Amino acid sequence: MKFLTIAVLCCTMISPALSADEWQVETVDSSNNTDLHSPSLAMDAEDNAHISYQECILWVSADLMYAYNNGSSWDISIVDSSVSSHGLACRSSIALSSGVNAKIAYTNNDNGFLKYASWNGSSWDVGVVDGLCDGLNYVSLCLDDGDDPPSIAYGDNGTTGQDLMYARFESQWLISAIEISGDVGYYVSMALDSYNTPHVSYYAAGLRNLKYAVLGPEFWQISTVESSGDVGMCNSIAIDSNDRPHISYYGETSGNLKYAYYDGSSWNISVVETTGNVGLGSSIAVDSNNHPHISYFDGTNDCLKYAYHNGSTWELSVVDAFDEDADLSSSIALDSEDRPHISFAVIDGGYYLLRYAYYGPVGIEEEEGGYVEYALSNVIPNPSAGSANVSFSIPVSCDVNLDVFDITGRKVAELADGVFSSGMHETEINGLTSGIYFCTLRTGAFVDTKTLVVIK
């Protein structure tokens, strides 16, 4: 990060209420990635976040990464550095054992292997699940009762297209087919019910339908959820306390976010949002009241959104807006208080950033008392012909940009650029010729602009 010096005059800022809950967004990984793909999120019993994702540097190689929030900062490590020697994208899915050890299923694009990594408390144990795959893309991992044995649903290129496959570990990996008729096995998502029975939602590309499979006593029971138009991409499944499935998905024909719920006899289908091109990268979780929470992207307005059904209607909100582009895959999980947490990736300045959002109080209490919130302060003294002080505050560690623009919109100074820790940040400023300027503070969750007057 870097600071330049200027003299500024700022108008009064209206701050949000300290007691209000809002989306808080922070950057987890900003290491100049040329690609950062398919983040998967899980929350542990202490409400700490765990994220698996693929990181690609300069399109040369790709690593499987793991980020863990220890309660005060993010610990980031490499799980497998042999995912791809060509910078090809891989998919991953994370789950946590009852001992809070992370387990990750993922694809290896160099040889088409399906692999599984397990944290043993000091290092990663990495092994091959299916070494006979002919190209992999989608993968979803679950653990019985939050512990081993693991099971994985995934797509594998077959002779007639993408096959939908299932692997379960019982002293060794047992591989079986869920459906191999036609081009199926896209956007695979799996969840377990209270009996550890796997439920799988997936997109049948040949028919352009959303399909659903549940493992019966002897074989997989397969049904079509919706077949009206091109539907089912970007699907995600969750199981409620009554062992009934909920599915979020994208309707390509209409460009809408859709939701399907099985009531015990039939599928109930509804549209969550219709404004613009919405629903890409959807992910669903169900809370203790059996209410669905969905994260998804709005391609028209370039933002990540969140939808929550309160029992009677859908409540929609914007989580994060971005200027360039996004990976268009999100992952949502709920903590012990049913608060939503989301991992996702966006592009900023030509590079991918791994971001993490959670819904909570705007401010955090400091040791001295009071709260820290997103704010850009007034400058003291004001106005100034020489030196002055300007400060900003942030409640969480995040990327911060503080720039100055002249009246034509040209950027003339960069005051701050980089990741800052939570709290107050202040700098002495000098410099710029006389005139009127605009000072803009931008984080992932907050933007504010002040008018600047420099008097020499």
- The pLDDT tens digits for 317-337 are 999 988 766 667 899 999 999
Could you tell me if 356 and 408 lie in one domain? no
Could you tell me if 263 and 347 lie in one domain? yes
pLDDT of 343 > 50? The answer is yes
- The pLDDT tens digits for 214-266 are 999 989 999 999 999 999 999 999 999 999 999 999 999 999 999 999 999 99
Predicted confidence at residue 233, as pLDDT, reads 96
Could you tell me if 113 and 245 lie in one domain? yes
Residue 199 is assigned to a structural domain of this protein: yes
Could you tell me if 349 and 432 lie in one domain? no
Could you tell me if 400 and 262 lie in one domain? no
pLDDT of 350 > 70? The answer is yes
Which amino acid is it at 289?
A: N
Domain closes at, from 305, 326, 361:
361
Residue 272 is assigned to a structural domain of this protein: yes
Calpha distance 157→162 (Å, rounded) = 4
Residue 1 is assigned to a structural domain of this protein: no
Domain coverage including residue 321: 22-361
Chain centroid, CA 229 distance in Å = 28
Could you tell me if 216 and 111 lie in one domain? yes
Could you tell me if 297 and 439 lie in one domain? no
Q: CA separation (Å) from 271 to 172, 258, 279?
A: 42, 4, 10
CATH (domain of 398): 2.60.40.1930
Structural domain count of the chain: 2
Predicted confidence at residue 54, as pLDDT, reads 86
Coarse DSSP helix, strand, coil percentages of the chain, rounded to the nearest 5 percent:
0, 65, 35
Q: Which residue has the higher pLDDT, 228 or 361?
A: 228
pLDDT, average across residues 33-47: 85
Predicted confidence at residue 210, as pLDDT, reads 98
Calpha distance 238→261 (Å, rounded) = 10
Going by C-alpha positions, the residue among 309, 406, 377, 398 that lies closest to residue 11 is 377
Q: Which residue has the higher pLDDT, 369 or 203?
A: 203
pLDDT of 50 > 90? The answer is yes
End-to-end CA distance of the chain: 28
Predicted confidence at residue 369, as pLDDT, reads 46
- The pLDDT tens digits for 429-441 are 667 788 777 778 8
Yes or no: say if 267 and 214 are a contact pair by the CB < 8 Å rule. Answer: no
Residue 234 is assigned to a structural domain of this protein: yes
Yes or no: say if 144 and 168 are a contact pair by the CB < 8 Å rule. Answer: no
Could you tell me if 26 and 136 lie in one domain? yes
DSSP state of 380: B
Going by C-alpha positions, the residue among 446, 405, 454 that lies closest to residue 14 is 446
pTM: 0.76
Predicted confidence at residue 98, as pLDDT, reads 81
CATH (domain of 71): 2.120.10.70
Domain closes at, from 331, 361, 391:
361
Calpha distance 376→339 (Å, rounded) = 28
- The pLDDT tens digits for 2-14 are 334 333 333 333 2
Residue 2 is assigned to a structural domain of this protein: no
Burial class (CB in 10 A: 0-12, 13-18, 19+), 455: exposed
Domain closes at, from 361, 385, 404:
361
